[in-house]
C-alpha cells in the first residue's frame, strides 16, 4: 500500500503536471471504485468541466481541490497508483501511446481515466480495485468522517518527540500496530513501521506501554529518518507502487527488513524473521530488535 512517502511523491509530481488543467471527460470500467456520488453517471456529470485548483495530501489520502467548490478524495488503498500519460483503448485495455515505463506490467491495471484539456490523461492503475474515490462538496469535505479522524501527520513539524510519547506511551497494543493506527499518527504503514522499528532496535511485538520514554524518542527519530529517506528516494516499489510517469521509486536499496525473511540482517548477520500481526506480515531481526 502506498504510504506517506509514496503518496507525497505522487502529490508533488501531479502538482507540477495538472494544476490548472480542466477535466473534459472521464472513463471508468469499475464503477465500484466511485463511492460518491452513488452512480458513475452522476460522478461523470459533476466532475466534467471542473478545473484542478490544488492537490494536497492528508495521511494517505490525495485531495484534489476543484473549481465550483468540489473536492475529489482519493485513497489508493493496497495496489492503486496514479499515472500521467496518454492511452488508447483497444479490446477493453488501455494501451500507452508513449514508450517507456508506462508499459511496466504494474501499470496496466487501469480502471479510471480522466481526460484533461491539454490532451493528456490522469489514470488510476489498481490491480485489486480496492481504491476509493469520492467527489463531494467543500462543505461536506469539512465534516468528512475519515479525514477528521486522522491523527497528526507523521512528518508534521508540530509532532514533537514529547507529543509522540504522549500519543503512544499509554497504548497496550504491540508498538507495530500502534504505529499503523491512522487515528493516532497518519501516514505510516507496513513498510516504514518495520523499517523504523529496525532502525530504533525495537521488537515490533513489544507493547507500546512497556517501552521507555528514551526508546520512544529514539523510535520517533527513526520514523522521521526513514520517512524522509523514503521521500528523498521517491518511495518503495517492491510491489505495485510507481511514480506518475510509470517509473519505480528507489527506496529499495535502503530496505533493511521489510520482505527480507530468511535473508541475513545487514547489521548483525542473523536471519530476518516474519510473523503475522493481525492480518499483516511483520519483518524484524530477532537479534537487533529487543
pLDDT digits (tens, 9 = 90+) for 6-44: 999 999 999 999 999 999 999 999 999 999 999 999 999
For residues 218-243, give the mean pLDDT. 97
- pLDDT (tens digit per residue) in 83-112: 999 999 999 899 999 999 999 999 999 999
* Active site residues per annotation: 2-3, 60, 280
Mean pLDDT, the chain, integer:
97
Q: Is the pTM of this model over 0.75?
A: yes
Q: In the prediction, which pLDDT does 153 show?
A: 98
| Position 279 pLDDT exceeds 90 | no
When pLDDT is cut at 50, 70 and 90, the band that residue 255 belongs to is very high
Could you give all domains of the chain from N- to C-terminal order, each with its CATH number?
A: 4-148 (3.20.190.10), 161-284 (1.10.8.50)
Pairing of strands 273-277, 280-284: antiparallel
Per-residue pLDDT reduced to its tens digit, 141-170:
999 999 999 999 999 999 999 999 999 999
Region 164-177 average pLDDT: 98
pLDDT > 70: percent of the chain: 100
Amino acid at each position: 500500500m502506498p504510504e506517506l512517502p509514496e503518496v507525497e511523491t505522487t502529490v508533488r509530481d501531479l502538482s507540477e503536471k495538472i494544476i490548472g488543467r480542466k477535466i473534459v471527460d472521464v472513463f471508468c470500467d469499475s464503477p465500484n471504485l466511485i463511492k460518491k456520488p452513488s452512480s458513475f453517471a452522476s460522478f461523470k456529470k459533476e466532475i466534467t468541466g471542473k478545473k484542478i485548483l490544488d492537490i494536497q495530501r492528508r495521511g494517505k489520502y490525495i485531495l484534489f481541490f476543484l473549481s465550483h467548490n468540489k473536492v475529489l478524495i482519493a485513497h489508493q488503498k493496497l495496489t492503486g497508483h496514479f499515472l500521467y500519460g496518454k492511452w488508447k483503448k483497444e479490446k477493453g485495455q488501455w494501451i500507452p501511446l508513449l514508450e517507456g515505463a508506462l508499459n511496466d506490467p504494474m501499470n496496466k491495471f487501469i480502471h479510471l481515466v480522466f481526460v484533461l484539456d491539454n490532451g493528456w490523461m490522469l489514470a488510476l492503475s489498481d490491480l485489486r480495485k480496492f481504491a476509493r474515490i469520492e467527489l463531494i462538496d467543500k462543505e461536506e469535505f469539512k465534516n468528512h468522517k475519515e479525514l477528521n479522524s486522522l491523527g497528526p501527520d507523521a512528518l508534521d513539524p508540530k509532532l514533537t518527540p514529547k507529543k509522540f510519547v504522549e500519543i503512544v506511551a499509554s497504548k497496550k497494543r504491540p508498538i507495530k500496530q500502534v504505529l499503523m493506527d491512522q487515528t493516532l499518527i497518519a501516514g505510516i504503514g507496513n513498510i516504514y513501521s518495520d523499517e523504523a522499528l529496525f532502525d530504533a532496535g525495537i521488537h515490533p511485538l513489544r507493547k507500546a506501554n512497556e517501552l521507555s520514554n528514551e526508546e520512544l524518542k529514539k523510535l520517533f527519530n527513526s520514523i522521521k529518518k526513514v520517512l524522509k529517506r523514503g521521500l528523498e528516494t521517491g518511495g518503495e516499489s517492491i510491489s505495485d507502487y510507481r511514480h506518475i510517469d510509470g517509473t519505480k521509486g528507489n527506496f529499495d536499496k535502503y530496505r533493511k527488513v521489510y520482505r527480507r525473511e530468511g535473508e541475513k540482517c545487514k547489521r548483525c548477520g542473523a536471519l530476518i524473521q516474519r510473523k503475522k500481526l493481525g492480518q499483516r506480515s511483520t519483518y524484524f531481526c530477532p537479534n537487533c530488535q529487543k
